[in-house]
Amino acid sequence: MARTGSTRRTFVAGTAAVGAAAALGVEAPVASAATGTEAAGTTAVGQSVAVLGGGVAGLTAAHELAERGLRVTLYERRALGGKARSMDVPDSAKGGRRPLPAEHGFRFIPGIYHNLPDTLRRIPFPGNAHGVWDNLVAPKEMMFARTGQEDLRLPMPGAGTPQPLTLDDIRRALTGLLGTFQRLPAREAAYFVDRLAVFLTSCQERRDNQWESTPWWTFTRAARMSYDYQRILAVGVTRNIVATKAEEASTRTVGSLLEAFVFNALGRGADGPLDRILNAPTNEAWIDPWVTQLRGLGVEFKVGWTVRDFTYGGGRVTGVRVEDDGGTAAMVTADHYVCALPVEHARPAWSAAMRAADPQLGRCDQLRTDWMTGIQFYLTERPDIVHGHVDCIDSPWSLTAIAQAEHWPQRPFAAAYGDGTVADCLSVDISEWDKPGMLYGKTAKQCTRDEVAREVWAQLKAALNDTGRTVLSDSGLHSWFLDPGVSGIGTPDPHNEDELLIHPTGTFHNRPTAATRIPNFYLAGDYVAVPIDLATMEGANTSGRLAANALLDRVGSTAPRCTVTPLYSAPELDLLKATDRLRYRLGLPNAFDLG
């Protein structure tokens, strides 16, 4: 598998423990090339920062800090880009072509994001006036694929012209959209719109308390509704988008996401169209240019080292013990430490003394993660599906997918990748790993890798080949690739290196801030408390910005702070929210909450 930056083998070859310590930056790393206005007068210039973790959060923190004159060294155990990266299918390149592209899951950068797009604009890309941001393209439509029923294709709205935003206007727009769900009873669509009106007019206090403790299933009254209502508006939203169960998912989190999408569709507070993806594999379109830029800023990358634990004394972090695949250990020291590891990998590295120094580290033990993992199917002909994402809402494993070749127009797929016979890549996300499938009657975790591929392929065909035409054929399947972070499936000990934070009720109150009570220790990752309140690339990027700001505040830097843009809030609804704040404090329900 190709890697960005140094490989583990080349980096650790021929080094003993003493040599490794020097290579890992016990000595000061190379100074960054910060610009004059950003570095001038700041007390942070020249201080060293160890960023632990090379996903979107770690790369963002490194980017922001290096621009402001700090000396940044980033340590990553596997490959730069983390869950966002693309990767090569081993031994798939032939005839001078590139290897077939694979990924943990397809990238989705909606218009509700603002902080990540700002970073994309600041990453140079040849021929692009706005850097990597110009590599975003907007799919034309999406489809809800029903098994045994008529599929529903929906045009995807762009950023559009801002529409009026009275509550009645919003209700009419939502009612019109839900009216396109042909099998959804009109009274249920109207009821769901009313439930959204309750959330849209709820004050922040009600959201943070009442709705944070209320499951989305309960809030939407899904138990009393039809199967279609449950699958589309309860299960479909939470399992396929938020990657958690409707019976558990926090209404605060789900409702905030839907609110942002509503405003995006109405042309309010949007960076761009509702649905955007990259026009090439992620590393080509984004990660590789980003790493090149950061190297130019003086960031030093150490790939192939795993964080084992932090050392702590005198009220500060004094070092980080890291280890390579061969068991070579070394101690990394710096003035500041940004822990940008995923929460499930970060928690074991925090000592009892660190947890005692800052209780929010201990509360992170209550955060939960689950599996949402990708598999790619390589096809010898382009499938006639839809010009965008497919949501197989009746599939037992909650599958979502996109055929990528038509969105990568800069090079014909067959000419650029693989052996010359692959015309498309159907990238699929598996959101449900704990329910039986349709072929073997086993959960995805109980299946072998081959069985997972066959099961997903069968579920895709059941959703797409049930309308009198063959969309996917066995003869057109060239090969498949399942995320290598998944191991041990089909055995009693399945493991996933790349789990995703989920959002059951109460999660919000256990998410930590980027600044900790340890004066030289900061947190970055999609589990950190950020305005979007969702495990996303936007959340990871925002947390990296907050970690950088916390560090700059801590040292009294005069450098400009990173911008942090929250989700859009419609000012037209402020009066209704103010009224609800009074009602909430009086113990009364929202005025539109009629049960």
pLDDT at residue 2, as a whole number:
36
Pairing verdict, β 86-88 and 101-103: antiparallel
pLDDT higher than 80, residue 511: yes
pLDDT higher than 60, residue 50: yes
Give Cβ neighbours of residue 99 (< 8 Å, ≥ 6 apart). 2, 88, 89, 90, 91, 92, 93, 417, 418
Whether the CB-CB separation of 256 and 567 falls below 8 Å is answered with yes
pLDDT at residue 241, as a whole number:
60
For residue 170, name the pLDDT band (cuts at 50, 70, 90): low
Average pLDDT of the residues in 223-239: 82
pLDDT at residue 37, as a whole number:
36
Residue 238 and residue 336 in one domain: no
Question: Among residues 496, 574, 503, which one has the least CA distance to residue 535?
Answer: 503
pLDDT higher than 60, residue 439: yes
Helix (H, G, I), strand (E, B) or coil at 549: helix
Residue 66 and residue 97 in one domain: no
Pairing verdict, β 399-403 and 477-482: unpaired
Please check whether residue 50 lies inside any domain of the structure. yes
Please check whether residue 13 lies inside any domain of the structure. yes
Residue that finishes a domain, picked among 496, 522, 545: 496
Question: Among residues 520, 521, 504, which one has the least CA distance to residue 512?
Answer: 521
CATH at residue 26: 3.50.50.60
The H-or-E segment that residue 317 falls in is strand 316-323
pLDDT in tens, 79-117: 999 999 999 999 999 999 999 999 999 988 999 999 999
Whether the CB-CB separation of 364 and 526 falls below 8 Å is answered with no
CATH at residue 468: 3.30.9
Residue 168 and residue 254 in one domain: yes
For residue 28, name the pLDDT band (cuts at 50, 70, 90): very low
Average pLDDT of the residues in 540-567: 97
pLDDT higher than 80, residue 394: yes
pLDDT at residue 6, as a whole number:
34
Please check whether residue 427 lies inside any domain of the structure. yes
Record the pTM: 0.89
What's the half-sphere exposure (Cβ side, CA atoms, 13 Å) at 197? Answer: 22
Structural domain count, the chain: 3
Please check whether residue 549 lies inside any domain of the structure. yes
Please check whether residue 120 lies inside any domain of the structure. no
Please check whether residue 148 lies inside any domain of the structure. no
Please check whether residue 121 lies inside any domain of the structure. no
Q: List the domain range (segments joined by +) for residue 403.
A: 84-113+133-139+370-496
pLDDT higher than 80, residue 161: no
Neighbours of 485 (CB within 10 A): 17
pLDDT at residue 69, as a whole number:
96
Average pLDDT of the residues in 482-510: 95
Select the more confidently predicted residue: 242 or 523: 523
What's the half-sphere exposure (Cβ side, CA atoms, 13 Å) at 249? Answer: 31
For residue 546, name the pLDDT band (cuts at 50, 70, 90): very high
pLDDT at residue 230, as a whole number:
85
pLDDT in tens, 138-148: 998 888 887 87
